[in-house]
Amino acid sequence: MMRVLGVDPGLTRCGIGVVDALGGRRARLVHAGVLRSDSDAPLDQRLLTIARGLREVLEEHGPDSVAVERVFSQNNISTVMGTAQVSGITLLEAAERGIPVAMHTPSEVKAAVTGSGRADKKQVQTMLVKLLGLDAAPQPADASDAVAIALTQLWRGPGPVARDRTGGARTSAQAVWARAEREARRARERSTSRQ
C-alpha cells in the first residue's frame, strides 16, 4: 500500500491531506487538516510553526511520498512569497527523511480529480466525497485541496515502472490512469451509440 501526504502550502493556513492507495483508482482518507500560523507573529516564527506541524504529520503518518501544489504567479506578491517559503520547508522536511517529492499545478490537480483542469473548488470537493466515500468534503477548503493533491500523486505520480503496449516505460499510477481513461471513453461511446 502506498501512502501520500498532500500539501497545499500557505503561510497562514497550510492544508494537509494523507491518503492511502487501495488499488486501482480507490483510495482511503487517513487524515486531513490545516496547519496555522499567527499572521501577527514574525515571519521566522510563522515558518517555524508550520515546519513543526509538518514534522509532526510526517512522523505520525510516515508517507511514502509527498506531493505539493506548485507555486504559480498571483497578483499578491506577499502571498506568493509565503506560499513559496512553505513549499521550500515542505521539500526540505521530506528530503531530510528521504521521502520523494512531486509538485503538481492546480490545473493538474483539478484534472486528476474531476477530469477537467477548469473545475472549481466545489466540483473538486464533490468528487472527493464520491471518490473517498466521505459524508462531506474535508474542511476548511485548504484541507480538501491538500487531499486532492495527494490523490493526484497517487494516480499520476511516479511509482514502480510498468510497460505500456508499445514497450515504453510507464509508472503503475500512469497505467491505472490510462486504463481508467480507456474505460471512461468506452462508456461515453456506449452512451452515445444508444442515443
Is 69 annotated in the active site?
yes
Superfamily in which the 3-158 domain is placed by CATH: Ribonuclease H-like superfamily/Ribonuclease H (3.30.420.10)
DSSP 8-class letter at 65 = E
Q: Which amino acid is at 166?
A: T
The residues pairing with 103 across neighbouring beta strands, listed in sequence order, are 68
Residue from 20, 69, 93, 145 carrying the catalytic annotation:
69
CA distance 109 to 16: 15
Stretch 13-22: mean pLDDT = 97
Is 8 annotated in the active site?
yes
pLDDT value for 23 = 83
Stretch 135-147: mean pLDDT = 97
The owner of cell 497505467 is: 175
Q: Which range (53-57, 117-121, 149-153, 186-190) has the least confidence?
A: 186-190
Q: What are the binding residues for Mg(2+)?
A: 8, 69, 142
Confidence check: pLDDT of 162 > 50: no
pLDDT value for 195 = 66
pLDDT value for 54 = 98
Residue 88, phi then psi, degrees to nearest 5: -60, -40
CA distance 141 to 136: 12
Q: Which residue has the higher pLDDT, 137 or 195?
A: 137
pLDDT value for 163 = 36
Q: What are the binding residues?
A: 8, 69, 142
CA distance 103 to 21: 18
